[in-house]
Amino acid sequence: MTVRLLAIDVDGTLANSKGIVTERTRQVLHEAVARGLYVVISTGRSRSFLQCVSDQVALEQPLICNNGAEIWKNAAELLARRFMPVETGQEIIHIFKRYGVEHMWGNDEQGDFSPEMFQQVLQNPPMKLGAFFEDEHQLAAVRAEINALPDIEITSSDELNLEVMKYGTSKAHGLAELATEFSISLDDVMCFGDSYNDMEMFEECGTAVAMGNANDELKAMATYITATNDEDGVAQAIEQYVFAVQEPIA
């Protein structure tokens, strides 16, 4: 197996605890591209949020945003977007409101929105809606109600949050579309992550690398476990499991 594509989560993975992509990691990603690999940012975050990360990486890399609801071949070419119906989005907001959820966001993650602001936002179909919860009981109650809605997908990037998209949406789905676009098998993809919304990628990719700070469930699914995001774990893994064992791709 030759690794031809690197799919890398951002929070807790590519970026350190300060939200910074270190110079070492940036250099390793540039070397990967020089060796003929694709480098794909794969995140639950929005495209607008990712701009600061893209500026740090300084590559025209493909992007998987909003947990696979938005897929970019490069900075200028959009491949696909997946939306929930407006009515579904409004029902999700009503559920959040009934349970007193205060911290929630939409496609662009521009801070916390009140339910009233969301009603304005939801004049257009949403790609993703998310929320943070006060405790596990509030989360479980909200999750149970949202699970009863048709044609939705639920994931999380933290123990106390939920992120809701159209059914079938995941980072793995987005990665499969990009792999097809680039004529690459998922067996030749190495993915990196730290949380629950990376699980589908770990199931589908040929090589899965969990960060040292990843949750135990993800570590159990990993091919390798690398150092933490504060120890350049992504760079270490690429150097050890790619550069050290395979020649550059012609």
pLDDT for 212 beyond 70:
yes
pLDDT for 100 beyond 60:
yes
- pLDDT-above-70 percentage for the chain: 94
> Mean pLDDT for the chain?
92
Region 124-148 average pLDDT: 93
What is the value of pTM for the model shown? 0.92
pLDDT for 112 beyond 60:
no
pLDDT for 121 beyond 80:
no
Residue 9 designated active-site: yes
DSSP string, 88-115: HHHHHHHHHHHTT--EEE-TT--S---H
Region 97-110 average pLDDT: 78
- pLDDT of 52 reads 80
pLDDT for 221 beyond 80:
yes
Region 230-234 average pLDDT: 99
pLDDT for 19 beyond 80:
yes
Strands 5-8 and 189-193: parallel
**Run of H or E including 32:** helix 23-34
- pLDDT of 110 reads 52
- pLDDT of 191 reads 99
Q: Which tokens go with 167?
A: 């059914």
Q: In Å, what is the CA distance from 167 to each residue of 16, 93, 149, 170?
A: 31, 17, 10, 9
Question: Residues 197, 44: contact at Cβ < 8 Å?
Answer: yes
- pLDDT-above-90 percentage for the chain: 77
pLDDT for 143 beyond 80:
yes
The C-alpha atoms of residue 43 and residue 170 are separated, in whole angstroms, by 10
Q: Which of the four pLDDT bands, split at 50, 70 and 90, describes residue 85?
A: very high
pLDDT for 231 beyond 80:
yes
* Structural domains of the chain ordered from first start: 5-81+170-243 (3.40.50.1000), 86-166 (3.30.1240.10)
**DSSP single-letter state for residue 243:** I
- Tally of CA atoms within 13 A in the half-sphere of 225 that contains its CB: 10
The C-alpha atoms of residue 153 and residue 196 are separated, in whole angstroms, by 13
In angstroms, how far is CA 41 from the centroid of its own chain? 8
- pLDDT of 97 reads 87
**Annotated catalytic residue: which of 9, 11, 198, 232?**
9
pLDDT for 249 beyond 80:
yes
Q: Which tokens go with 174?
A: 């987005």
pLDDT for 199 beyond 90:
yes
The C-alpha atoms of residue 249 and residue 3 are separated, in whole angstroms, by 9
Q: Which of the four pLDDT bands, split at 50, 70 and 90, describes residue 120?
A: low
- pLDDT of 124 reads 79
Region 10-27 average pLDDT: 97
